[in-house]
Structure 1
Amino acid sequence: MYSNRWAHALLSTGLLWFLLAIAFAPANKIYQQGLVALLWVPCIALAWSARACLGEAWRGQRLLFSLLLLLALWASISLLWSHTQEPDREFKRVLYIAFFVLFFPILADAKPDRVMRLMQWAGVGLGVAALVSMIKFFGVQHHAWLARVEGVGELSHPILGAYVIGVAVIWTLLWPPRTKPLQVVWCLALLLGSAFVVMSQSRGAVLALFFTIVALPIWWRHRRAFYLSAAAVVVAVIGFWLMEPLMMARGSSYRPEIFEAALKMIELHPLTGLGLGSEYNVVVADGTRFDHSHNLFTHIAIELGVPGMLLWAGIWLTVLWQAWRVRETDFGRGMIGIWLFSTLAMQFDAASLTGSPRAEWFITWLPIGLASLLVWARGEVAPAVIKSRVPLNQ
């Protein structure tokens, strides 16, 4: 049933909703309701019919899925000592994440190129969102050109909005269309997205985008990768020369002090953490308070202790290892780029692992969902599984 046209159309709509409605949905509540209707409910309804596909994903990514199960189990156990007032809500979010990861194998049906095509269109759509954001911010609202641009919809936070558009630039860059007319649109989307990231003045997003493009030749041994890397260096030098006072005006934004204070908090509860969903404040030496640690790894260690952080690190490194094994494929190259950008981005501001779907999911759970498809990146599908997928009426 999951391989029928109507099911594929519904699942495709769910992915596009997740990727695009974060910018274009009129309200966060509508965005969340759309995910329930178009992503989670179809995933649950079609999971049984897709059991052969999910079983193949499990066999091919046994380490990744085992670590995810262990992290989910540890996070659920931590609710026993968590200070959250709604433990059932936190547990429900863990289930949402589980179905989100399972959604990708069901949608792809052993064909990662299906997801790649959808993400190509989503990259163009987020390029349009970047354009609309800049027109609204500078043209309609008449902000000064040196102000930090804010995106539309849930991209209104300059940092998190830049992370979403930045990772979209990376997958759009590494998964280009093959026809020339679409390549023109692709190029415009890249330029608009890159401009949005720079004008957001989010140094974390800018650095993540820069280093990811500069590092392309490490895993993509192609002349184009060297050209892109060199171009990124030239653009970065010119941009820094023009915008140095603006980019350096905010100093280090307390990041070293926050990191030091976060380490002290981890030392208080190194094994158990505060528990999943516990609210906390990071207080630096001068008394300034922050509502999270501005770093995903320290945030996880504060909530889930060192065991939780090690499990997350294992999951994250497994994604890289699996992507590196298929780096000669289009899907593998894109996955490494997404992984590297996300790794750099989560060092500076992202501090939400199990919250409801939001901008942070683009650099946490989206890469892991995509990684579940790496088992098919080489096109090596077991004949027995293919046979089991043939409809009974054929």
Structure 2
Amino acid sequence: MSLSLGAWPRNTSNFISEWILPIGYFCLLTGLTWLDDRSQYHKLFYALMAAPALIAIVMQPKQIALQLSEPVTLLFLAFSAWALISISWSGTEDSFASLAKRPLYIFMLFTACMLMTQRNCSRLLLVLSLASLAIIPIAAYGLVDFATHYTPGARLVGSGALDNPLLSSHVFGLFCVIWLGWVMTSSSRYYCFALIPLAVLSVTLLATGSRTPLVAAALAAAWLMLCCWNKRALLLACAGACGLIILLLAFPESLLNRGTSYRLEIWQLALEQIRLQPWTGHGFDAHLAINVPGIHYSFSEPHSFFLGVLYYTGVIGALCWALMHGAALWTCWRRRSDLYFIIAGALVVYGLGAGLTEGGGILPRPKEHWFLTWIPLALVAALSIGRKQEHAL
């Protein structure tokens, strides 16, 4: 009887890791495309990932040691700690408790992914594969609906809670890079089967009319070519060059007519505000209003993740941010003999590329920006922990 009572925490934690967290991870990856609104997306994450991961880690606190053995996780905790310290001078109207929940949610994402790999990585990778398959009919449906109701100048948004073409491109872009990674890394017998999903997602990405994901996808492709230098890498380079030429010839207005969309002006004005407090930043959740001459409204983001990190947390926070991504990429590069690290690295590079001209808020609640930063980083950290455990066993 005492033995069964002693095993109860471990069995409960295992049940959460093997059944509840995979369902939550699948919902996190695909939920924005089939849920009605974002509040439902948040509630699903809290109910199926954040709360269960917290319960599991409380029941088996020794698992925390695995988390703290991973440099990416440690650097995330350092960045979060500095962001929370900066609240003391940010002048935010939100309470400390309210803002402290945000890094906790992200840490629970890291924890959930780690728990799914506590025996081996197969469960986490299976969910990632199922989500990548599920997104294909969703993207195809969005394309058919977009083509059916197309009007000049329209841009694809997508289904479910997606409501902005640029933000939608973050979701579809992540899966597009995953399928591109499978095309580049799978055996010669099977890689052709990944070409159709890759084509569907590539067209979906183009239909959003956003240029940011095209630059990010090109950078991710460069990472894949560097890691998999072979005939497919040369074919990918040629295909990318031909695709760019075709786009410039067939749809020049989609790439050139919108200019820089005020990005240069926004960045210049953001840098002027960053110079006022360069080292410590203005503080987490500080007010930001960028007024571009000729525009009758203010921008609340600098349209660059790195500039956002500089504005809110200064050079100190930006150093943690850069080291966190650098550690993730170094981990993937060292383990590039494992195809999943190659793909995970491509996702990190894609997020960095998209973040060059998009976003600016730090430590947000679950939303599309997680697909650029926190989902790829949590994947790298979990894969690294899982492979270490497999090697130890």
CA distance in structure 2 between the aligned counterparts of 1:26 and 1:322, rounded to whole angstroms:
37
Deviations 1:66-121 (A, max 9, x none): 32222111111111122322222111112111111111110122523332221122
Q: Does the CA contact (< 8 Å) of 1:2 and 1:8 recur in 2? A: no
* Segment of structure 1 superposing worse, 317-326 or 42-51: 42-51
CA distance in structure 1 between the aligned counterparts of 2:175 and 2:58, rounded to whole angstroms:
32
- Counterpart pick for 1:30 among 37, 40, 61: 40
Over 3 Å counting, the alpha-carbon distance change for 1:91 and 1:349 in structure 2 is same
CA distance in structure 1 between the aligned counterparts of 2:159 and 2:66, rounded to whole angstroms:
39
- Counterpart pick for 1:161 among 153, 160, 168: 168
1:328 matches 2:299: no
CA distance in structure 1 between the aligned counterparts of 2:255 and 2:295, rounded to whole angstroms:
25
Equivalent residue for 1:227? 235
Cα shift at 1:12: 0.6
* Segment of structure 1 superposing worse, 118-127 or 46-55: 46-55
Over 3 Å counting, the alpha-carbon distance change for 1:4 and 1:138 in structure 2 is same
* Segment of structure 1 superposing worse, 329-338 or 116-125: 116-125
Equivalent residue for 1:39? 49
Equivalent residue for 2:4? none
Cα shift at 1:273: 2.1
For the residue of structure 1 that corresponds to 2:280, the secondary structure is: coil
CA distance in structure 2 between the aligned counterparts of 1:174 and 1:117, rounded to whole angstroms:
16
For the residue of structure 2 that corresponds to 1:373, the secondary structure is: helix
Cα shift at 1:125: 2.0
Equivalent residue for 1:390? none
Matches within 5 A, 1:189-204: 189-204=197-212
* Segment of structure 1 superposing worse, 7-16 or 207-216: 207-216
State the one-letter code of the partner of 2:374: W
CA distance in structure 2 between the aligned counterparts of 1:103 and 1:378, rounded to whole angstroms:
16
CA distance in structure 2 between the aligned counterparts of 1:183 and 1:325, rounded to whole angstroms:
24
Equivalent residue for 1:136? 145
Deviations 1:216-274 (A, max 9, x none): 22111333233223222222221221111232111111111111111101011223322
* Segment of structure 1 superposing worse, 264-273 or 225-234: 225-234
Q: Does the CA contact (< 8 Å) of 1:15 and 1:39 recur in 2? A: yes
Matches within 5 A, 1:180-195: 186-195=194-203
CA distance in structure 2 between the aligned counterparts of 1:379 and 1:66, rounded to whole angstroms:
17
Matches within 5 A, 1:1-394: 1=11, 4=14, 7-59=17-69, 61=70, 63-87=71-95, 88-139=97-148, 142-144=149-151, 146-175=153-182, 186-286=194-294, 289-376=298-385, 381=390, 383=392, 386=393
The number of equivalent residue pairs is 380
Q: Does the CA contact (< 8 Å) of 1:329 and 1:377 recur in 2? A: no
Over 3 Å counting, the alpha-carbon distance change for 1:160 and 1:33 in structure 2 is same
Q: Which runs of 5+ in 1 are unaligned?
A: 387-394
CA distance in structure 2 between the aligned counterparts of 1:46 and 1:198, rounded to whole angstroms:
41
State the one-letter code of the partner of 2:300: D
CA distance in structure 1 between the aligned counterparts of 2:13 and 2:142, rounded to whole angstroms:
37
Over 3 Å counting, the alpha-carbon distance change for 1:43 and 1:180 in structure 2 is farther
Over 3 Å counting, the alpha-carbon distance change for 1:133 and 1:181 in structure 2 is farther
Deviations 1:312-336 (A, max 9, x none): 1111111111111101111111112
Over 3 Å counting, the alpha-carbon distance change for 1:377 and 1:104 in structure 2 is closer
Q: Does the CA contact (< 8 Å) of 2:36 and 2:161 recur in 1? A: no
State the one-letter code of the partner of 1:156: D
Q: Does the CA contact (< 8 Å) of 1:154 and 1:161 recur in 2? A: no
State the one-letter code of the partner of 1:45: I
CA distance in structure 1 between the aligned counterparts of 2:192 and 2:366, rounded to whole angstroms:
32
Q: Percent identity?
A: 24
For the residue of structure 1 that corresponds to 2:275, the secondary structure is: helix
Deviations 1:156-185 (A, max 9, x none): 211111121111111122246979999777
State the one-letter code of the partner of 2:168: G
CA distance in structure 2 between the aligned counterparts of 1:291 and 1:6, rounded to whole angstroms:
39
Over 3 Å counting, the alpha-carbon distance change for 1:53 and 1:224 in structure 2 is farther
TM-score, with structure 2 as normaliser:
0.89
Over 3 Å counting, the alpha-carbon distance change for 1:33 and 1:82 in structure 2 is same
Q: Does the CA contact (< 8 Å) of 2:32 and 2:160 recur in 1? A: yes
State the one-letter code of the partner of 2:155: R
TM-score, with structure 1 as normaliser:
0.88
CA distance in structure 1 between the aligned counterparts of 2:98 and 2:107, rounded to whole angstroms:
14
For the residue of structure 1 that corresponds to 2:131, the secondary structure is: helix
Cα shift at 1:205: 0.7
Over 3 Å counting, the alpha-carbon distance change for 1:94 and 1:56 in structure 2 is closer
CA distance in structure 1 between the aligned counterparts of 2:30 and 2:194, rounded to whole angstroms:
16
RMSD between superposed Cα atoms in Å: 2.5
Over 3 Å counting, the alpha-carbon distance change for 1:160 and 1:181 in structure 2 is farther
